[in-house]
Copies of this chain bind each other. A is one copy, B any other.
């Protein structure tokens, strides 16, 4: 599937998807339960939006045990990465984004991929 501004921008027009992507831009890799906690939304909602982002290949997923980790697709064309970077730049001042990031940092019992991999 070919990425176009139309497709990418439409995916960014939803608050839940935008908030998720901005966290992924800063944190690199997050599982559904981390996003669910950070954004304070119900799990099916997060899962559904991540699936739609995966469908258009804005994010990639990776199963690690019982967790599924999502991250920004490294194969995105340069203009798309730049567009996401600009969005993040604009979000750094954003109250909502800052609150989301803070909530994530304070999450207890955050799943740690490395521990489960090496045990």
Contact = CB atoms under 8 A, between A and B. Distances in A.
Interface stretch (A5-13, A35-43, A51-59): A5-13
A75 interface: no
B79 A90 contact: yes
A113 interface: no
Interface string A1-42: 001111011101101001000100000000000000000000
A83 interface: yes
A86 interface: yes
Interface string A82-93: 110111011100
Contacts of A78: 89
Contacts of A15: 6
A12 B86 CA distance: 14
B94 A90 contact: no
